[in-house]
Structure 1
Amino acid sequence: MAALAQHDRRRPSRPRLDRLARRTLLIERRGLAVLTGYAEQNKDDILADHLFYDLAMTSISRLGYGLAKDLARHGVTAVTLSPGVTGTEAITAALGDDLPPGTDPVEFCGRAICALLQDPNVARHAGKTVPVADLASEYGFAGDDPRPPS
């Protein structure tokens, strides 16, 4: 343990982004922490038939719930966004014009976060995993893609 403490003293002091963000959110007593996870549609199925992917995605939603409970007393809201199938460059390259109906444009998550940041009542979403398409309907934003959101 002493060797570890000695090692830490020798390392240059450099604030990590997560510590800086956490301190800033807590000092300001306001803010928004956003995670991306998966809104469970059917708890009886394993997501993508892949146990570890399912575990990772549902754990993020659980983390968002825990963060919301922990940060609420500091005036910080934590919410988890659940994007639909997103038309990234990789997905578009792989599927071409065969994208599933309702594929979300890549801008959707960013627009959802902007809408949440402007909402004075954003705390009503605290601890929830909210599909981005639901936020698009609620806040009235859309992507550049004419297809309806998933």
Structure 2
Amino acid sequence: MSWTPDPDALRGRVAVVAGATRGAGRGIAAALGEAGATVVCTGRSSRSGNAQSDYDRPETIEETAELVTALGGTGIPLQVDHLDVAAVQSLADRLRRDHGTIDILVNDIWGAEKLKGPPPTWNRPMWEHDLDDGLRILRLGIDTHLITSHCLLPLLVARRGGLLVEITDGTTDFNATTYRLSVFYDLVKSAVNRLAYSHGHELEAFGATAIAVTPGWLRSEMMLDNYGVTEDNWRDALAPDRSDGPTAPPPFAASETPRYIGRGIAAIAADEARGRWNQRSITAADLAREYGFTDIDGRRPDGWSTG
């Protein structure tokens, strides 16, 4: 059964997607644009330069903002390093001046894909990891979220109904019983779930909602590049004995585009009863089952059900 987003579901709402350059952040910004929102897209990689980024990648916040606009919303790119307190406070000041308040804040800041290392380096004792790299993983994955919330939540609680979304990897329940790659990575991804719980405790009194959402196996730009495929031919990565790239494991068949988690967040934002999600930790697939949306190819993948 086909599904089409409501182009006016979030018309008039102002969203900030912190970490919107690529991956889940870009998908979330795009899905909010599909629903008609004004989306402020922040990140370190800009057409004006990406020297602050931990990645040497071609994606930019301007591309994301243009995608938002092309899909029916209003995209606004703003280059921000979310570890720079002064820069994030300047962002808050500009948002207050231009929009007065914000309705949605998505903390999708990460930037440590290279630092976490390739699979052969996972599951080593933490003392065999470079300590500076490990501590930067914590800074990129936790400090950025705290700094951004500290500066921007006053704009979110200025009127009732605001939504804060923390993006992580793995739900609270899953991460509580599953070791995640390394001590540093494990700590970050568990901590972000707890951030949503903690923020929700404080925000509830202001009529706002905080929730942690995790994608499944995300077909990000970096993941597609790793397998030498594009979104148009991603299934080729599953072919055995490939001559043009590595073969993906069978669970990759249940992978999802970044738009999938974005549609879930747009659905929560449009739900007048969104407060029922406060302090919870859920997957994009959970939201698809609840709200009935699909990924851009009409599927409802659930990477967490494959084990």
TM norm. shorter chain > 0.5 = yes
Instruction: Give the Cα–Cα distance (whole angstroms) in 1 for the partners of residues 183 and 297 of structure 2.
Output: 32
After superposition, the Cα gap between the structure-2 partners of 1:147 and 1:119, relative to the gap in structure 1 and judged at 3 Å, is: closer
CA RMSD of aligned residues (A): 2.1
Matches within 5 A, 1:57-72: 57-72=189-204
CA contact (8 A) 2:260 2:296 kept: no
Q: Give CA-to-partner distance per residue, 1:38-86, whole Å, 9 cap, x none.
A: 21426333113x1211110000000100000010000010001011110
Instruction: Give the Cα–Cα distance (whole angstroms) in 1 for the partners of residues 266 and 220 of structure 2.
Output: 20
After superposition, the Cα gap between the structure-2 partners of 1:130 and 1:72, relative to the gap in structure 1 and judged at 3 Å, is: same
After superposition, the Cα gap between the structure-2 partners of 1:44 and 1:79, relative to the gap in structure 1 and judged at 3 Å, is: closer
Q: Residue 87 of structure 1 aligns with which residue?
A: 219
Deviates more, 1:102-111 or 1:89-98: 89-98
Post-superposition offset of 1:16: 4.0
Instruction: Give the Cα–Cα distance (whole angstroms) in 2 for the partners of residues 16 and 52 of structure 1.
Output: 29
Q: Residue 52 of structure 1 aligns with which residue?
A: 184
Q: Residue 24 of structure 1 aligns with which residue?
A: 155
Instruction: Give the Cα–Cα distance (whole angstroms) in 1 for the partners of residues 269 and 188 of structure 2.
Output: 26
Post-superposition offset of 1:147: 4.8
Instruction: Give the Cα–Cα distance (whole angstroms) in 1 for the partners of residues 178 and 154 of structure 2.
Output: 39
Instruction: Give the Cα–Cα distance (whole angstroms) in 2 for the partners of residues 145 and 79 of structure 1.
Output: 26
> Is 1:135 matched up with 2:283?
no
Q: Residue 210 of structure 2 aligns with which residue?
A: 78
- Of residues 35, 46, 55, the one that matches 2:166 is 35
Instruction: Give the Cα–Cα distance (whole angstroms) in 2 for the partners of residues 120 and 57 of structure 1.
Output: 29
CA contact (8 A) 2:175 2:190 kept: no
Matches within 5 A, 1:94-105: 94-95=226-227, 96=229, 97-98=237-238, 100-105=252-257
Count, aligned residues: 137
Percent identical pairs in the alignment equals 27
Q: Residue 267 of structure 2 aligns with which residue?
A: 115
Instruction: Give the Cα–Cα distance (whole angstroms) in 1 for the partners of residues 152 and 176 of structure 2.
Output: 33
Q: Residue 66 of structure 2 aligns with which residue?
A: none
Instruction: Give the Cα–Cα distance (whole angstroms) in 1 for the partners of residues 206 and 183 of structure 2.
Output: 35
CA contact (8 A) 1:103 1:147 kept: no
Give SS of 2:265's match.
helix
Structure 1: give runs of 5+ residues left out of the alignment: 1-10
Deviates more, 1:29-38 or 1:96-105: 96-105
Higher relative CO (Cα under 8 Å, sequence separation at least 6) belongs to: 1
Q: Residue 18 of structure 2 aligns with which residue?
A: none
Post-superposition offset of 1:113: 1.2
Q: Residue 126 of structure 1 aligns with which residue?
A: 278
Structure 1 stretches of at least 4 aligned residues deviating more than 6 Å after TM superposition: none
Give SS of 2:184's match.
helix
